[in-house]
Structure 1
Amino acid sequence: MTKIPTVSVIVPAYNVAKYIKETLVSLEQQTFSDFEALIVDDGSVDNTAAIVRQICQRDSRFKLLQKANGGLSSARNYGIRHAQGEYIALLDGDDIYHKDKLATHIARLYRDSDIGVVYSASRTIRDDGKPTFITLSGKPIHSNNVLALLCKNFVGHGSNAVFRRCLIDEVGDFNESLRSWEDVDLWLRIAATQKWRFYREKRILSYYRVRPSGLSFNIVQMRNSGELVIEDATLRSPQLVKPMLPTVYAYMYRYLARLSLQSGDMQTARDFIDQALMCDRSIFYRDVRSLVTLMSVRLSSVAKLAIGRSLGFAKTVQGKH
C-alpha cells in the first residue's frame, strides 16, 4: 500500500526550462522528505516537461501533470485537486526553497493547531540566481490580518505559503477569473473566517526570482484585479474594511506605482503616486517602503538605473506566468 505523503508541493510551470531544474533540486534537498511534488506543466511550449520527466525518473516523489494553458490559478488548482497531502506548499517553477523550508513550517503546523498558514521572510534573486539586496520580511503592518493583507500582501509572493489542505475545503480554491491578486484573494478569505492564524518565520526560507523575460506587467489588469479583490473583501466585512478604504487604495496605488517604475513607465508611476497621495498621504511617513517608492518615483531616472543594476539588467523588469 502506497504511503500518503504529509505535504503536497504544487509547482506551476510555464516555459521555465531555464529554471525548473534548480527549483526541483531545491525540493530534493529538503531536510523534510515526506512530500510529493506535483509539477503542473501549464501548456509550456519549451522543454520544461522533458526536464521534469528526467527528475521524475530518478525520484518517485516527483510527478508531472500536464494541462492546456490556463494561467497561474488554474495550474495551482489543478495541482491541488491531485494532491494527497494534509498540507499544501506552493512553489513557482522558477523560485527556490531553502533546504529547511518544509521542515520549519511543518513543525510549526504540527505544534499549533490554530495556525492555518505559515510563511517566511524572503530574498529576491536575479535571473542568474545571484541574490539581490532586496528582502521581504513578511511582517504585517496591521494587527488585523484582513486589513494587513489589503494594505500589503505580507505573505509576499506565490512561493512562500504552506497551509492546511482543509482551508481549501472551507473557503474555496484560487479564483481563476483573477489574473493577479489571486493569492491575496485566497489569504483574505481565510483571514475573514477569523478561525485561523497566519504565522511568520523570520528566517529567509524562500528565494523569489525576478526575471527579464516572461509576461510583461499589465498594470491595467492588475489594477482591475486589485479593485475586485478589495470590493469582495469589503462585502465580506463591511464594518471592518470601509473605514480603512482610503488607506487600502493608497497602498494599492503605491504598489502599482512601484511596478510601473520597474517596467520603465515613469509617467504612469507618477500618476499612481499622485493618486496614492490623494487617498492617504500618511502611508509615506508611516511606512519605509512606501517612502522609498515615493522617492524613487520622484527621482525616477536614478531609481531605474539602481533597480537595473541590482537585478542584473537595465531594462524592463517583468512578471511571471
Structure 2
Amino acid sequence: MPKIPKVSVIVPAYNVSKYIQDALISLEKQTFSDFEVLIVDDGSTDDTAAVVQKFTQRDSRFKLLEKANGGLSSARNYGISHAQGEYIALLDGDDVYHKDKLATHVARLYSRADVGVVYSASQTIRDDGKPTFISLSGKPVHPNPLLALLCKNFIGHGSNAVFRRCLISEVGGFNESLLSWEDVDLWLRIAATQKWRFYREKRILCYYRVRASGLSFNIAQMQACGEQVIKDASQRSPEIKPMLPTAYAYMYRYLTRLSLQGGDIETARKFIKQALICDKSIFYRDIRSLLTLISVRLSPLAKLAIVHSIGFAKTAKGKH
C-alpha cells in the first residue's frame, strides 16, 4: 500500500510553460521530502502539460491533473480535492520556493497544535527569475488576525501559505465566484473561527514572480470583489464593524496603487480620495500608504519612482 504523504503541494498552472520548470525544480530541491505535488493544468493552450510530464516521468511524487479552464480558485479546489496530505501547500506555477520552505513550515505545524496556517516573508523576482529589491515581511498590522486581514493580506500572495487540510473541511475551499481576493476570503473565514493561529516565519522562504502580463487587470472587477469579501466578513463577524472604515481605506489605497501601476492617474486620484474619506489615519500610520498618497500628488517622474518603490501587484493571480 503506498505511503500517504505528509504534505500535498497544489500547483495551479495556466499557460506557464515558460516558468513552471523553475517552480517544480524548487520542489525537487526541498530539504523535506515527504510530499506529493499535484499540478493542475487549468485548460492551458501552451505546452505546460508537456513540461510537467518530464517531472512526472522521473519522480512519482509529481502528478499531473488536467481540467477545463475554470480559473485560479477552481484549479486550487480541484487539486485540494485530490490531495492526500495532512497539510496543504500552495505554489503558483510561476513562483518558487526556498529549499527550506516545506521543512520549516511542517516543523511549526507539527509542534504547534493551535497553529492552522503558516507562512513566511517573501521576495519578488523579475520575469527572468532574478531577485528584485522588493520584499514582503508578512507582519500583520494588527494583533488580531481577523482585523489585520481586513486591512492587508499579510500572507501576501497565493504561493506563501501552508495549512492544515482539515481547515478546508471546517470553512470550505476557495470561493470560485471571486475573480480576485479569493485567498483573502479564505484566510478571513479561517480567522473568523477564532480557533486557529496564523504563524509568520521571518525568513524569506518564498519568491513570487512579477510578470508584465500581471499588470493587465480590471480595476472595477477587483473593487467589486474586494467590497464583497469585506461585506461577507462583516456579516460573519458583526463585531468587526467598527473596523470597516479602516478596511475600506486600505482597499481603496490598494486600488490606488493598481491604478498607478496601470498608468490611470485619474482613477488613482478618485480612489485615494475615497481612502482619505474612509480613514485618513492610515496615511500617517503606514509608510506604504503615505508613499501611495505622495505618488498621486507628485509630478509624473516622481510618481514613476515611487510606483517602483511600492512594488508591483500580480493582479492576474489575485495578489493583495
Report the TM-score when normalising by structure 1. Answer: 0.95
Q: 1:30 to 1:318 in 2, by over 3 A?
A: closer
- Deviation, 1:320, is 2.8
Matched residue count: 317
**Which residue of 2 is the match for residue 278 of structure 1?**
277
Kindly report which structure 2 residues correspond to 1:151-300, keeping only aligned pairs within 5 A, or say none.
151-214=151-214, 216-239=216-239, 241-299=240-298
* Post-superposition CA distance 1:124-164 (Å, at most 9, x none): 11111111111111001011111100000001000000000
Give distance in 2, aligned partners of 1:220 and 1:136: 26
Give distance in 1, aligned partners of 2:193 and 2:242: 20
C-alpha contact (below 8 Å) 1:116/1:167 kept by paired residues: yes
* Post-superposition CA distance 1:71-128 (Å, at most 9, x none): 0000000000000000000000000000000000000000000000000001111111
* Post-superposition CA distance 1:271-299 (Å, at most 9, x none): 11111011111000001111111122223
Kindly report which structure 2 residues correspond to 1:90-105, keeping only aligned pairs within 5 A, or say none.
90-105=90-105
The answer to whether 1:13 aligns with 2:41 is no
SS of 1:113 mapped into structure 2 = coil
* Greater Cα shift, 13-22 or 261-270: 261-270
* Greater Cα shift, 30-39 or 206-215: 206-215
**Which residue of 1 is the match for residue 300 of structure 2?**
301
Unaligned runs of 5+ in 2: none
**Which residue of 2 is the match for residue 86 of structure 1?**
86
**Which residue of 1 is the match for residue 147 of structure 2?**
147
Q: Report the identity percentage.
A: 78
* Greater Cα shift, 15-24 or 298-307: 298-307
Paired amino acid for 1:194: Q
Paired amino acid for 2:282: I
- Deviation, 1:303, is 4.9
Q: 1:186 to 1:80 in 2, by over 3 A?
A: same
Give distance in 2, aligned partners of 1:150 and 1:163: 20
Paired amino acid for 1:79: G
C-alpha contact (below 8 Å) 2:149/2:188 kept by paired residues: yes
- Deviation, 1:319, is 3.0
Give distance in 1, aligned partners of 2:131 and 2:300: 24
- Deviation, 1:305, is 3.5
C-alpha contact (below 8 Å) 2:140/2:148 kept by paired residues: yes
Q: 1:242 to 1:317 in 2, by over 3 A?
A: closer
SS of 1:31 mapped into structure 2 = coil
Q: CA RMSD in A?
A: 1.8
The answer to whether 1:319 aligns with 2:318 is no
Give distance in 2, aligned partners of 1:201 and 1:317: 22
* Post-superposition CA distance 1:37-96 (Å, at most 9, x none): 000000000010100001111111100000000000000000000000000000000000
C-alpha contact (below 8 Å) 1:262/1:304 kept by paired residues: no
* Post-superposition CA distance 1:238-294 (Å, at most 9, x none): 12x111111110000000001111111111111111110111110000011111111
Kindly report which structure 2 residues correspond to 1:93-132, keeping only aligned pairs within 5 A, or say none.
93-132=93-132
Give distance in 1, aligned partners of 2:287 and 2:309: 19
Give distance in 2, aligned partners of 1:310 and 1:189: 32
C-alpha contact (below 8 Å) 1:31/1:100 kept by paired residues: yes
- Deviation, 1:8, is 0.2
C-alpha contact (below 8 Å) 1:8/1:85 kept by paired residues: yes
Unaligned runs of 5+ in 1: none
Paired amino acid for 1:226: G
Paired amino acid for 1:320: A
Give distance in 1, aligned partners of 2:175 and 2:6: 25
